[in-house]
Amino acid sequence: MTELPARRLLLVHAHPDDESINNGATMARYAAEGAHVTLVTCTLGERGEVIPPELRHLTGPALGTHRRGELGAALAALGVTDGRLLGGAGRYGDSGMTGTADNDDPGCFWQADVDEAAGHLAEVILEIRPQVLVTYDDNGGYGHPDHVQAHRVAMRAVDLAAERGHRIAKVYWNRVPRSVAEAAFARLQGELDTLPFDKSATVDDVPGVVDDERITTAVDGGAHAAAKAAAMRAHATQIEVDGPYFALSNALAQPLFTTEYYELVRGTAEPGETDLFAGVGEAS
């Protein structure tokens, strides 16, 4: 294997598009700075709701195949070259929204054995040997079964990899500080009549919003705002972008954040931290 750059970042997400919405600016920034950025996506999002009328014929495996293509285009926009599917393409199916019959499908990610799925991720960790891992909190940001399962699998894989010789120095959860979200939605209300979206989402619709004091790290990705927006547009079945705002299939406008926020849950944060790799030496 070709020698990897000194800094290595691993992100674990549930579906194609989650990476661009949550971490697009962060991924683009570190890729541009020469870090090795690896994305592991746990499902192909086969049960996602499709926005464009001309693509609504896509369902099930056909939608998954299409969304895999969208994911490739999004990663290209972010400058990320290492994108993987947990256990290989199609290994784990989309579980659908909370409380639906889809959650009971034995092939869906929600029904996967956590240790088995974490074993697949641990193999990636041992190959890449990242210093930093980013994933969701224990509620998956907003409670979606696949997001919750991605959290469980990621955190278990960190432990499995440590048992086999590689300790990840810093583990972060995706966050948005409440004050930032409230200010962004206040701006959105003043501009809503200029947007193609009729209504606004609310702060409570944004995954991972927490009180400001829980934020340990703010990554300024402003220089990569265009890359993040392009990556989100690449997920055309799922996202509509208009300037600094976007909407999902519910057509509710919400802000597109280019400074991305994190809570360090394993490792040591530097005061006022602005770099996920702060205080970390090179991976061996």
Annotated binding site: 15, 18, 147
Residues flagged as binding site for Zn(2+): 15, 18, 147
Contact 68, 61 (CB under 8 A): no
Beta bridge partners of residue 220, listed in sequence order: 259
* Contacts made by residues 253-256, CB under 8 angstroms, sequence distance 24+: 253/188, 253/192, 253/195, 253/197, 253/199, 253/200, 253/201, 254/185, 254/188, 254/200, 254/201, 254/205, 254/206, 255/181, 255/184, 255/185, 255/187, 255/188, 256/225, 256/228, 256/229, 256/232
The tokens describing 115, both together, are 């240790």
Residue 274: CA atoms inside 13 Å, Cβ hemisphere, count? 6
CA distance 10 to 129: 9
